[in-house]
Amino acid sequence: MKSRQLRELARLFDIQPSYINAAGEEVRASNDSLRAAIRARIGEFDVPDALRARREELDSRVIEPVIVAWGDEKPRVEEGSRYELTLEDGERRSGMIANGIIDEELPYGYHTLRIDDAHESLLIAAPRKAFAPTAKSWGIFAPLYSVHTPRTWGVGDLGDLEAYRLWVNELGGGIVATLPMLASFHDSDPSPYSPVSRLFWNELYIDVERLPEYAGEPLEPLPLAGDVNYARVMAAKRRLLEQLAVDVDANDELDAYANFREARGDGSARYHRYVQTRMSQQMRTIADDARARGLGLYLDFPLGVSAAGYDAHRYRELFANGASVGAPPDLFFTKGQNWGFPPLGPEAGRKSGYAYFRACIRHHTEHAGVLRIDHHMALHRLFWIPAGGEAKDGVYVRYPADELYAILTIESNRSRCVIVGEDLGTVPPYVPVKMKEHGIRRMYVVQYELKPDGDEPAGAPPAESIASINTHDMPTFAGFWRGDDIGDRVALQLLDERGAQRERQTRLRMREALMRFLKARALLDPASDDTVAVLEALLGYLGASEAEIVLVNLEDLWLEPEPQNVPGIGERSWRRRMRLGLEAARHDVVTRRILRTVDRTRRQEDGNQK
């Protein structure tokens, strides 16, 4: 009886008692796992008491904490006779409810609804679809920490980002994509996917020479050879920035952030108010100019934040205690993954009117022409792993997807920012349907789609997609072509030698199938098996595809064998500087030729060939 009650209680808290794994098998959550997930939501509990309390709570709701009205739909409520509306701009409206319908035409935005002067809800009036690009485009992917120009000081900065963007514009492209540039602790994990906050930028990337307070002070010599030494670069930058810092006006959020960093021993609050203000100003200038010349910057919205960071401290009531986010065991990561950061509680977000999530999304869309949502599945469900447990002990927790999509479509249209969801891996069929319904672009990645046989081993990028050969989590094209990643998986004990041999044979068949495919379409010379020629032909194929955006990993163009991130191998992740800087890339014959090929095929496909 208690086991049945426990599983019912889990369902009432949107915790899935089972899921289908990557092999298509049903995995049932243990009672211990369900208990741990519920405990992360409500603390210690007695099953019968908690079940009774949860039923009473749900039964007593007259209206939901959040209501979504799509497009020109009229808001619907199940109960009540009279409504009062306070629109986002402060306008007030009121009237009677007829047949459960509030007969109001609402501007898109976040409004407050009160029913019978007693029950309140956030009413989100949202466009059905996110902003859509008006023409096909292309761009490059280049992690900012890894780029360098003749003026680089220790690490790539916003000035360097602008220089790369201007170069891409010269070649006909409209986008520069990079990894998250959010605030971090510079004395710990350099992963851009574990930021201190999703509300503030990383001052590591300030262009010091463009600061109004900079008067030509000498810069400490910092090496541009070898891996990026975050601690050394940030120490040198901070010494100068602290000298330049002046008092600036700050809102409550910035004050709270600055005070948090000071309390942690990360410098004075004055310093953090200053660097965040100047970083925001530089981001705005660069983002506006990028949008004036193309789609603009392609930014990345990470799934979570550091458990020790500002967001988890400031908004602690929104995060679940005693759990971390990850992924269940699959065919690649046989032990699963624990990403180490706390999940947002779905109900806490609803009850707070999603103020934190809205602010985080807006922080990015106001600067991005394209925004990638890391682990897009999190809008639907998230894998919670109990503290002290392994990934196999985790459970999926469902989230109110419609409400989160509504926030994305509002912020996307307000800022004219294209939203792309990272939807790789095992994705239930309802997710792509929902993405299409709301204009969220999908990702098409050749290395993920490539099959060892068939007439179309690389498939075909769909129209509403962002197409690329790989991602930052995957091998470079040269590394994939040579099978270097297979050796990495052996080293990580994710493959034994017998499995590795099978992988190598499959990879060989993939290579042969891809070359046949490209040759059959006259994209590759019949006698050629040259790696650069295959790469150029493949990018030409993507350029001529229906994909709205083609993204080129810049390092692929000079056959870089090492990826920027090797999942599970920290010492080989997020540190490697690009072998070719901007000037070398600009004058590299192969690099220029391939990018011009992409530009030409894009324009031909879009009917605008020059």
Q: Is residue 92 part of a domain?
A: yes
User: What is the distance, to the nearest Å, from the Cα of residue 247 to the centroid of all Cα atoms in its chain?
Assistant: 33
Judge whether 175 and 554 are in contact, CB under 8 Å: no
The vertex-19 CA angle with 325 and 346, nearest 5°, equals: 45
Q: Is residue 242 part of a domain?
A: yes
Say yes or no: 165 and 53 in one domain.
no
Strands (E), 485-548: none
Alpha-carbon gap, residue 1 to 441, rounded angstroms? 46
pLDDT of residue 77: 93
Q: Is the pTM of this model over 0.85?
A: yes
What are the helix and strand counts (H, E) for the chain? 19, 19
Alpha-carbon gap, residue 439 to 133, rounded angstroms? 10
Judge whether 282 and 210 are in contact, CB under 8 Å: yes
- Name the amino acid, one letter, at 340: G
Q: Is residue 52 part of a domain?
A: yes
Alpha-carbon gap, residue 592 to 584, rounded angstroms? 11
147: three-class secondary structure by DSSP: coil
DSSP 118: T
Residue 224 tokens, joined:
């541009």
Say yes or no: 161 and 186 in one domain.
yes
State the sign of the Cα–Cα–Cα–Cα dihedral 43, 49, 55, 61.
Answer: negative
Say yes or no: 148 and 282 in one domain.
yes
Task: Quote the radius of gyration of the chain (alpha carbons, Å).
Answer: 25
pLDDT of residue 118: 92
Total tally of structural domains belonging to the chain = 3
Tell me how crowded residue 76 is: count the other CB atoms within 10 A of its CB. Answer: 12
Say yes or no: 6 and 82 in one domain.
no
Say yes or no: 114 and 159 in one domain.
no
Give the phi and the psi of residue 478 in degrees, each rounded to 5: -65, -40
The widest CA-to-CA distance across the chain, in whole angstroms, is: 78
Residue 37 tokens, joined:
């997930």
Which domain does 98 fall in, by range?
Answer: 72-126
Say yes or no: 268 and 149 in one domain.
yes
pLDDT of residue 83: 96
Say yes or no: 182 and 270 in one domain.
yes
- SS3 percent helix, strand, coil of the chain, rounded to 5, is 40, 15, 40
Strands (E), 334-448: 337-338, 370-373, 381-386, 395-398, 418-421, 442-445
Mean pLDDT by 10 residues, the chain (610 residues): 90 94 89 96 95 95 95 92 96 96 96 95 98 96 97 97 98 97 90 97 98 96 91 96 98 98 96 98 98 96 97 97 91 84 95 97 98 97 95 96 98 98 90 97 96 91 96 96 92 87 96 96 94 98 97 98 89 94 97 97 70
Say yes or no: 154 and 276 in one domain.
yes
Sequence-distant (≥ 6) Cβ neighbours of residue 50 within 8 angstroms: 9, 38, 42
Strand ranges across the sheet with 82-86: 66-70, 119-126, 109-115, 82-86, 92-96
Burial of 56 (0-12, 13-18, 19+ CB in 10 A): exposed
Last residue in a domain, options 248, 269, 289: 289
- Name the amino acid, one letter, at 594: I
Burial of 568 (0-12, 13-18, 19+ CB in 10 A): middle
State the sign of the Cα–Cα–Cα–Cα dihedral 303, 309, 311, 317.
Answer: positive
Alpha-carbon gap, residue 512 to 346, rounded angstroms? 47
Last residue in a domain, options 265, 289, 313: 289
DSSP 221: P
Last residue in a domain, options 247, 265, 289: 289
Alpha-carbon gap, residue 169 to 165, rounded angstroms? 6
Say yes or no: 40 and 181 in one domain.
no
606: three-class secondary structure by DSSP: coil
DSSP 316: G
Give the phi and the psi of residue 547 in degrees, each rounded to 5: -55, 140
How many Cα atoms within 13 Å fall on the side-chain side of residue 359? 14
Say yes or no: 234 and 93 in one domain.
no
71: left (phi over 0), alpha (psi -120 to 50) or beta: left
Say yes or no: 113 and 162 in one domain.
no
Q: Is residue 252 part of a domain?
A: yes
Q: Is residue 525 part of a domain?
A: no
pLDDT of residue 610: 39
User: What is the distance, to the nearest Å, from the Cα of residue 223 to the centroid of all Cα atoms in its chain?
Assistant: 31
Q: Is residue 533 part of a domain?
A: no
pLDDT of residue 334: 78
Say yes or no: 92 and 214 in one domain.
no
Alpha-carbon gap, residue 182 to 199, rounded angstroms? 8
Alpha-carbon gap, residue 435 to 449, rounded angstroms? 19
Residue with tokens 């239930």: 428
pLDDT of residue 609: 39
Of the candidates 247, 210, 298, the residue with the CA atom closest to the CA atom of residue 549: 298
Q: Is residue 437 part of a domain?
A: no
Q: Is residue 32 part of a domain?
A: yes
